[in-house]
Amino acid sequence: MNHYSYPYMNRRFSTYAKNGMVATTHPLATEAGIEVMKQGGNAMDAAIATAATLTVVEPTSNGIGGDAFMIAWMNGKLHGMNASGRSPRKLSMEEIRKRGFSEMPKFGWLPVNVPGVPKA
């Protein structure tokens, strides 16, 4: 298979870049990441810049108080980050049952997690 043929029935194609790449849902966020790399930053620096920009240009899709997941290869080593939100420390099934539920409700304040992004 060469780079220009894609055997699957969808509209996505492989993209290749020589010195780095940034892909986001908003062109200004993508540009922020590219600019950081042009100035000597690495992929982590670009990811932080794009996330900060997305907080402004798409506040309903990204922001402080969300979750974050990452797999990155840096300095010859694979790193992973799981900054997903945690349940409140004192929340237990006993407490949920006291409030009249037999399982975690799908709506309301009980299923809300403490954001993981600020501490990551």
User: Does 59 lie in the same domain as 71?
Assistant: no
Please report which helix (H) or strand (E) contains residue 27, including its range.
helix 27-38
- Give the structural domain span for 3: 1-63
User: Does 110 lie in the same domain as 54?
Assistant: no
Q: Structure pTM?
A: 0.59
User: Does 45 lie in the same domain as 10?
Assistant: yes
Per-residue pLDDT of the chain (120 residues; tens, 9 = 90+): 555 666 777 666 667 778 888 988 899 999 999 999 999 998 888 988 988 898 899 888 766 667 777 788 878 999 888 878 777 888 899 999 999 999 999 998 888 887 766 644
User: Does 88 lie in the same domain as 41?
Assistant: no
The number of distinct structural domains making up the chain is 2
Listed residues 45, 63, 81: the one ending a domain: 63
Residue with tokens 């892909």, as numbered in its chain: 23
